[in-house]
């Protein structure tokens, strides 16, 4: 049996062929659900984290009064925001500490957004027309903008799709309250709120999301998530 923890090229070639097979499907939602099933089988923790991010981003979108159409895009975009992790070895995804990654492992992990874009854009008709909404690729590519330790540049913010901050904020909240992410310290909710409030003050996140975010935080007080179960 092939160990998923190793970067075994036979395992990932087989996974690549499974992704290719999904292109036989015509409906967007079937493709997305097929990709989520592959992620679930590859790394259950990443799959559960994805569902948590989806739930939180939808709640934030509802607090902000977005339309059904926008919430639909956010929901599917959240489902695919980390889909590039399909091609990251599970021992890297299950790391106990970021300091234990070697350069090659770090580079593979760092490129998961880029790999996600490639996966999403691979679903086309014989005429080259995308089978899924191109917004999902933008979300996969840009979901880290504003969520990292380094402040994004003005150019980063200018090119960011307006729905991306919903996924980014949900991702930060999920990641820092996730008991399953052993490589990351679980954060105090007030500290998380202050950290994101600082991002609002610096115009990293749209000011219009400040109150919806604070309402969401008040509802989540004391709540932790567990992507490992």
pLDDT band for 83, please (50, 70, 90 cuts). Answer: very high
Question: Following DSSP, what letter does each residue of 101-140 receive, concatenated?
Answer: --HHHHHHHHTHHHHHHHHHHT-B-TTS-BSS-THHHHHH
Residue 1: per-residue pLDDT:
31
- The answer to whether the CB of 166 falls within 8 A of the CB of 54 is no
Residue 222: per-residue pLDDT:
75
Cβ atoms within 10 Å, residue 151: 12
Q: What is the pLDDT of residues 201-228, one digit of tens each?
A: 999 999 999 999 999 999 988 787 888 7
pLDDT band for 3, please (50, 70, 90 cuts). Answer: very low
Q: Which comes out higher in pLDDT, residue 179 or 35? A: 35
pLDDT band for 229, please (50, 70, 90 cuts). Answer: confident
Q: Which comes out higher in pLDDT, residue 170 or 4? A: 170
- The answer to whether the CB of 65 falls within 8 A of the CB of 116 is no
Q: Residue 2 above 60 pLDDT?
A: no
Residue positions counted in the chain: 229
Q: Residue 158 above 80 pLDDT?
A: yes
Residue 6: per-residue pLDDT:
55
Q: What's the topology of domain 9-219?
A: Hypothetical protein af1432 (1.10.3210)
């Amino acid at each position: 049996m092939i160990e998923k923890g190793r970067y075994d090229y036979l395992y990932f070639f087989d996974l690549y062929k499974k992704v290719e097979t999904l292109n036989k499907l015509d409906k967007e939602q079937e493709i997305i659900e097929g990709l989520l099933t592959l992620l679930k089988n590859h790394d259950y923790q990443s799959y559960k984290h994805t569902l948590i991010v989806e739930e939180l981003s939808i709640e934030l979108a509802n607090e902000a009064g977005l339309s059904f159409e926008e919430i639909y895009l956010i929901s599917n975009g959240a489902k695919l925001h980390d889909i590039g992790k399909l091609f990251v070895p599970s021992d890297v995804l299950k790391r106990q500490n970021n300091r234990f990654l070697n350069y090659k492992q770090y580079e593979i992990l760092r490129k998961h957004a880029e790999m996600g874009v490639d996966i999403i854009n691979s679903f086309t008709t014989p005429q080259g027309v995308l089978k899924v909404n191109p917004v999902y690729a933008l979300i996969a590519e840009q979901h880290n903008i504003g969520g990292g330790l380094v402040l994004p540049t003005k150019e980063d913010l200018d090119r960011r799709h307006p729905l991306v901050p919903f996924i980014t904020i949900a991702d930060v909240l999920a990641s820092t309250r996730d008991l399953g992410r052993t490589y990351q310290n679980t954060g105090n909710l007030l500290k998380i709120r202050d950290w994101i409030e600082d991002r609002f003050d610096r115009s990293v996140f749209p000011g219009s999301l400040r109150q919806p975010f604070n309402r969401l935080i008040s509802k989540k007080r004391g709540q932790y998530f567990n992507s490992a179960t």
